[in-house]
């Protein structure tokens, strides 16, 4: 069965290009494409996508407002931002509102299917330049000892890698452990933090640090 994708993008040409490209892929089917998030909740309720691709700057209800609405009603639905904004404020706001990934529109369209698969497997795909900024922004975002949430040293290491855009495979290579071990660690991390995604974990840590 193909993965159902919902797209929110106001640029007519880009929206149609994404629809045509993703529909040509064996694993995906675009089940809806809209120019803003004015009806985002009923559209998700009706179409039941497996993943949402969302622009930020749209007329009417924009992507950040739409993301907030989605998280209120669908806390675990993967939402990947696809935007021109690469400033710290937009990155932080998107992550803190629950974005599951963050790609820039200059990402080659051929890379998007790989990013979607990474996200669906639990990763937090980011354009390399965004991942670099996130790493810089979170360099001092270590978890204080009083807020360890019962995480083991290895779980803390895995969490820090996950929240700076590393895929499961990259974490496995960096920690010299198997992919299934990474999945096991992340499952335990999410249970201890009471979250459902890497970006939700970041948001929780940020809120603790004030």
Q: Residue 173: helix, strand or coil by DSSP?
A: helix
pLDDT of residue 195: 75
Res. 15: pLDDT tops 80:
yes
**What are the distances in angstroms from CA 3 to CA 6, 62, 116?**
10, 24, 10
Exposed / middle / buried, residue 149 (Cβ in 10 Å: 0-12, 13-18, 19+): middle
pTM to 2 decimal places: 0.71
96-105: pLDDT as tens digits = 788 888 899 9
Q: Are 33 and 15 in contact (CB under 8 A)?
A: yes
Return the domain boundaries, the chain.
3-127, 138-209
DSSP 126: B
Q: Are 37 and 8 in contact (CB under 8 A)?
A: yes
pLDDT of residue 210: 45
Closest Cα to residue 9, out of 112, 89, 110, 95?
A: 112
Question: What mean pLDDT do residues 136-152 have?
Answer: 61
Average pLDDT over the chain reads: 85
Question: What is the share, in percent, of the chain residues with pLDDT greater than 90?
Answer: 45
pLDDT of residue 179: 86
56-93: pLDDT as tens digits = 999 999 999 999 999 989 988 999 999 998 887 888 78
Name the more confident of 163 and 80.
80
Res. 52: pLDDT tops 70:
yes
102-139: pLDDT as tens digits = 899 999 999 999 999 988 887 778 887 777 777 666 65
Res. 25: pLDDT tops 50:
yes
As a CATH number, domain 138-209 is: 1.10.10.10
Please, which pLDDT band fits residue 199 given cuts at 50, 70 and 90?
Answer: low
Name the more confident of 149 and 43.
43
Q: Do domains 3-127 and 138-209 have the same CATH topology?
A: no
pLDDT of residue 146: 47
Question: What is the share, in percent, of the chain residues with pLDDT greater than 70?
Answer: 86
The domain covering 3-127 belongs, at the CATH homologous superfamily level, to: Response regulator (3.40.50.2300)
**Distance (Å, whole) CA 17 – CA 30:** 11
Highest mean pLDDT among 53-62, 91-100, 185-194 belongs to: 53-62
């Amino acid at each position: 069965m193909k993965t159902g994708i919902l797209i929110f993008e106001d640029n007519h040409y880009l929206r149609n290009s994404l629809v045509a490209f993703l529909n040509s892929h064996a694993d995906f089917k675009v089940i809806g494409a809209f120019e803003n998030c004015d009806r985002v909740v009923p559209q998700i309720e009706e179409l039941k996508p497996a993943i949402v691709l969302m622009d930020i700057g749209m007329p009417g209800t924009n992507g950040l407002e739409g993301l907030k609405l989605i998280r209120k009603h669908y806390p675990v639905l993967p939402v990947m931002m696809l935007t021109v904004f690469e400033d710290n404020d937009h990155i932080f706001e998107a992550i803190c509102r629950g974005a599951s990934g963050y790609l820039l529109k200059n990402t080659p369209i051929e890379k998007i299917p790989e990013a979607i698969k990474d996200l669906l497997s639990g990763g937090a795909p980011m354009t390399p330049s965004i991942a670099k900024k996130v790493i810089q922004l979170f360099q001092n975002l270590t978890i204080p000892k009083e807020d360890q949430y019962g995480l083991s040293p290895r779980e803390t290491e895995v969490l820090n890698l996950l929240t700076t855009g590393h895929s499961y495979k990259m974490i496995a290579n960096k920690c010299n452990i198997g992919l299934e071990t990474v999945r096991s660690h992340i499952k335990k991390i999410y249970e201890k933090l009471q979250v459902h995604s890497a970006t939700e974990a970041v948001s929780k840590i940020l809120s603790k640090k004030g």
